[in-house]
Structure 1
């Protein structure tokens, strides 16, 4: 997956632990324990990460609700900036 430099750096230095994506046809093939390659779109640097869990929802509002109920994120922490 190609990312802007900021989100890429956050994943690389592990300050960002979750990545939120719409569940489209391409991403529907992702399984738990898969390795995902993230690429910085400016520098083309890559980092590999392991999928440790998947949370599927119809939209971001429903995903936020599910993650808050499970205690995975706090309401105030689930914003477009954190995605």
Structure 2
């Protein structure tokens, strides 16, 4: 029996596939924007919002993550 014949793997792939698509679309949108000379730091939200218009997976991921906040001090700051 190989890995993909296990029942839990079939369900895992179905659950993970939209997240993988959302990540790929977001990355492609950012790379495209960078190649066009856009400022990712300043326009990042707009770039992702534009990509959400043609990717329902990315739109769903953004809907889930919009309420998430990362409220902690960075531990990997650069020494000056």
Return the structure number with greater helix share.
2
TM-score range, shorter chain: under 0.3
TM-score normalised by structure 2 residue count: 0.26
Return the structure number with greater strand share.
1
